[in-house]
Structure 1
Amino acid sequence: MSDPLPDTLEKLACGSLIQHGPASDRIYLMKAAPDFPAHLPDDLIALARARGYSKIFAKVAEPQAAVFLAKGFETEANVPGFYSGRDTALFMGFYLNPTRRQEAERTRIEDILQIALAKNPLVNLSPLDPRFVVQDCEPVDVTAMARIYREVFPSYPFPIHDPDYLLKTMQSHIAYFGVKADDEWVAISSAEMDVSASNVEMTDFATPPRWRGNHLAQHLLARMELEMKARQIQTAYTIARAMSAGMNVTFRKAGYALGGRLKNNTQISGRIESMNIWYRSLVEAELR
């Protein structure tokens, strides 16, 4: 049986951007139009019911959230200063199937979170082994980048396995970073920018198993933060796999605060996983 294809991006008539499909079995309201109509929550619920999806995940500015709350959406996480350093973003869930909210591995998820929260933020990073070099990815690198993503993630919410997708997004709104050893890419990550709202999602971290244990994600994140601050981005956040101790510890050590957890939210490598939200102000941060 083949792994599910990434879900579909669609711009609604009101100008809001959603992603939806059977892979993550959900609708994701990625960006609500500033003046979206009051019936948008009803429209999303109707679409979810028509397609048989079991969850709607909506990212909404707090001043716009009342119409979602009135329709039964629940706040699962929040990121202060998400919109231009001012308004808080609410990450909201609406469950069409009550079993979707039940986390089969809740105890393990909570244990991993406590491991991460017990870590103290690093004041300074340990030096990177001299054989490793952190650098920006360029258009000529997309084939090698896709190869790493295919190795690490058999399936993913977005088509990062496709070099054409990587090139298109690199030329529009995503900055890609990587680590090389002996001229070979050994780790990749991305910073997906919303310049109009001055926020960035630190995401798509991929290190093949043979290169793990070298703290490459920590050094990638530090480089990403420096670049985003130079671009005047105010708020950084991530949507991290709740079952990944490594990624949650990485963001905790980098000084990110916990914003909450999205239950059974995202399909990665063939299974629906819960995701933790971590965030940090790049304006206030003393970068490492």
Structure 2
Amino acid sequence: MKDTIEKIGNSIIQHGRYNDRIYLMRSNPEDIPLLLDKLDALAEKESYSKIFTKVPESFKELLCDRDYLCEASIPRYYDGKENAVIMSKFLDDKRSIDCLNEMHENVVTTALSKRNDQQTNVPSEYSIRICDKNDITQMADLYKKTFETYPFPIHDPNYLLKTIEDNVVYFGAFKEEKIIALSSSEIEYGHSNVEMTDFATLPEFRGKGLSSYLLRKMEDEMKAKGIKTAYTIARASSYGMNIVFAKCGYEYYGRLVNNTNISGNIESMNIWYRNFQID
């Protein structure tokens, strides 16, 4: 069951039963006052339990007045200048409770303690490169093996092809021409930012630092494109992924409670951010 991506005005939302939510993925400031009414109406009609939005910080007060809470922020999200805030409205009290809060706090503390750890060079048996259309079958197979469920249909070759042709750059770690780990950079060219996402490693190759090698390659490519701000929405329960971003100099900027359907459950997610201009 896939969630639907659709356009309202000049803004883009994703919604559906899969994540039991509405996600305002990209907002046009001119849409926002009327758009909020439409999101409320859609949530009521479909009985969704959460709405979460990513909007310019200048709209924070307006959303607070509409019963949204600020769960996280992404500094310098818009053109390396204005901050984005992630504002959420919980329509079911149960969804607002982080039952794993103590563990999630420990994940962040552990990750931040690793920030100064030195990273090694890519071992000679692996190679890291941008994936192309010829890799799509292998990519879809790896994602199928890695995630039981995912908020976007990354196990579908047609979806992968469409995103490659649009605004997503996929990166692969290879061993003897076989993809053993993947990640993607979802670029918003209009605001010079990128989401570092879709990390997946075959079980037999985990613990070898492949996600860190991928992230470093991703950063090099994004800097070459002139992208100013990078961020990720990482599983709050994943020590590995949160440590990867902390090691690479990303800063923690908040948690989205019970936000995303991954591997069969609705999970909380952490926001990590880095600005290439001020490194």
**Structure 2 residue aligned with 1:17:** 12
Structure 1 letter corresponding to 2:33: A
Q: CA deviation at 1:8?
A: 0.8
8 A contact 1:229–1:283 mirrored in 2: no
Structure 2 letter corresponding to 1:41: L
Q: CA deviation at 1:270?
A: 1.1
Secondary structure of residue in 2 paired with 1:41: helix
Q: Of 215, 225, 242, which aligns to 1:221?
A: 215
Q: CA deviation at 1:37?
A: 4.4
Secondary structure of residue in 1 paired with 2:120: coil
8 A contact 1:76–1:262 mirrored in 2: yes
Give structure 1 stretches of 5+ with no counterpart: none
**Structure 2 residue aligned with 1:169:** 163
Q: Distance in 2 between matches of 1:205 and 1:38?
A: 35
Secondary structure of residue in 2 paired with 1:36: helix
Q: Is 1:85–2:90 an aligned residue pair?
A: no
Secondary structure of residue in 2 paired with 1:148: helix
Give structure 2 stretches of 5+ with no counterpart: none
Q: Is 1:235–2:229 an aligned residue pair?
A: yes
- Structure with the higher fraction of residues in helix conformation: 2
Matches within 5 A, 1:110-259: 110-122=105-117, 125-259=119-253
CA change 1:37–1:261 in 2 (3 A) is: closer
Identical-pair percentage: 46
Q: Distance in 2 between matches of 1:279 and 1:28?
A: 19
Matches within 5 A, 1:43-122: 43-122=38-117
CA change 1:283–1:46 in 2 (3 A) is: same
**Structure 2 residue aligned with 1:271:** 265
Q: Distance in 2 between matches of 1:36 and 1:171?
A: 27
Q: Distance in 1 between matches of 2:126 and 2:84?
A: 36
Structure 2 letter corresponding to 1:134: I
CA-atom RMSD in angstroms: 1.0
8 A contact 1:190–1:202 mirrored in 2: yes
Q: Distance in 1 between matches of 2:106 and 2:253?
A: 17
Superposed CA offset, 1:76-129 (max 9, x none): 00111000011100011100001101112222111111111211234x520222
8 A contact 1:23–1:267 mirrored in 2: yes
8 A contact 1:41–1:67 mirrored in 2: no
Superposed CA offset, 1:134-189 (max 9, x none): 01100110110000000000111001000111011001100000000011100000
CA change 1:20–1:183 in 2 (3 A) is: same
Q: Distance in 2 between matches of 1:145 and 1:72?
A: 41
8 A contact 1:42–1:71 mirrored in 2: no
Q: CA deviation at 1:217?
A: 0.3
Give 4+ residue runs of structure 1 displaced > 2 Å after superposition.
Answer: 64-67
Q: Distance in 1 between matches of 2:121 and 2:227?
A: 26
8 A contact 1:6–1:156 mirrored in 2: no
